[in-house]
Amino acid sequence: MRKNIAEGLVFIAGIALIVYILIYSDTSKPIPALLIAVAVNIITSPLYVGIIEGIYNVRKLPLVFKTKILYKNKDVRLSISYLFRIKSNGKYLLVKNRKGNYYQLVGGAYKTLPGVEKVFKDNSVKLDKRFETEHGIAKNDLRFRLPGRNVMRIIRWFNSREDRETSQWREFCEELLTTNIIKDKHTFRYIDYKYVTTIQTPIQRAKNLSCQEILIYEIFDLIPNDEQITVLEELYKEGNTDKVKWADEIIINSLGFDERKKEMEYEIGAHTKWAINEKYSIE
């Protein structure tokens, strides 16, 4: 039995018990009064939870309206990724985007796992052709299009963690170890990190694409041990290169413009700014 059905049955049973006692019992006596008190507690608990959830979900109403009504039968692009905040000497480690001439936090799109095929078929998911590799379209990335009516359902699927990548190790390895940005691979044979927040953009027109788009980023903080701190400090001392930049919050919030020098240092992706500030902002 599903949880919501069980809760509904308990709620109805509680109301029925109260009505029965009020009609057929003397509520001035201890036992009927106690039963009514218990029944009231039973039915008010789900009401309280429902009210709280309703208030919490009010902020989702614009997205529900747009996906279920406005763009119900139109393609909406979803891109779901994770980003690492890695710091040394008060600055964040940025790497060059593999597809564009800008810098960002370490990270990338989540990937699907075998078993997702039915979920994607049921929700009319189509592969995203925007990003291609030397081997063709990037497969298994959580970048795709689907009808607006299925957006909320697929986001719930992602949050269930079923049939998709749940570890953030792969992108860390691909962007820092495989590329030899961090040469001491043994020291980073494992990493610790903690979840910070999730940033989800409003549904809006995608850049350079003829569709609406939602971007979702899960943000994590690297928690380096003593050996790893030393390696990061050595990398910091090497300074900025074409592959790596070390940026403070001033440069990140200006997306690469250093207001102290009054010049553009390099371009930084807007999602890096969102990750540092832990909130979406219009650029």
Per-residue pLDDT tens over the stretch 223-257: 999 999 999 999 999 999 999 999 999 999 999 99
Q: Are 139 and 198 part of one and the same domain?
A: yes
**CB half-sphere exposure, 16, CA atoms < 13 A:** 6
Q: Is residue 161 part of a domain?
A: yes
Angle between the N-to-C axes of helices 3-24 and 30-56, in degrees from 0 to 180, rounded to the nearest 10: 140
Q: Is residue 17 part of a domain?
A: yes
Q: Is residue 30 part of a domain?
A: yes
Where residue 85 sits, what CATH number does that domain have?
3.90.79
Q: Is residue 35 part of a domain?
A: yes
Q: Which of 24-38, 177-191, 229-243, 251-265 has the lowest mean pLDDT?
A: 24-38
Q: Are 128 and 54 part of one and the same domain?
A: no
Q: Is residue 283 part of a domain?
A: no
Cα dist from 16 to 22, 90, 131, 174, 210, whole Å: 10, 62, 58, 60, 55
Paired with 108 in beta bridges are 82
Q: Are 94 and 27 part of one and the same domain?
A: no
Domain count, the chain: 2
Q: Are 159 and 53 part of one and the same domain?
A: no
pLDDT in tens, 34-69: 777 776 676 666 665 555 555 555 678 889 889 989
Q: Are 51 and 124 part of one and the same domain?
A: no
Question: Domain range holding 270?
Answer: 74-277
Q: Is residue 69 part of a domain?
A: no
CB 242 within 8 A of CB 96: yes
Q: Are 137 and 170 part of one and the same domain?
A: yes
Q: Is residue 214 part of a domain?
A: yes
Cα(128)–Cα(96) distance, rounded to whole angstroms? 22
Q: Is residue 240 part of a domain?
A: yes
Q: Are 114 and 33 part of one and the same domain?
A: no
Q: Are 96 and 198 part of one and the same domain?
A: yes
Q: Are 141 and 186 part of one and the same domain?
A: yes
Q: Are 37 and 96 part of one and the same domain?
A: no
- Listed in sequence order, the residues at least 6 apart from 278 whose beta carbon sits closer than 8 Å to its beta carbon are 196, 197, 199, 219
Q: Are 44 and 79 part of one and the same domain?
A: no
Place 136 in a pLDDT band, splitting at 50, 70 and 90.
very low
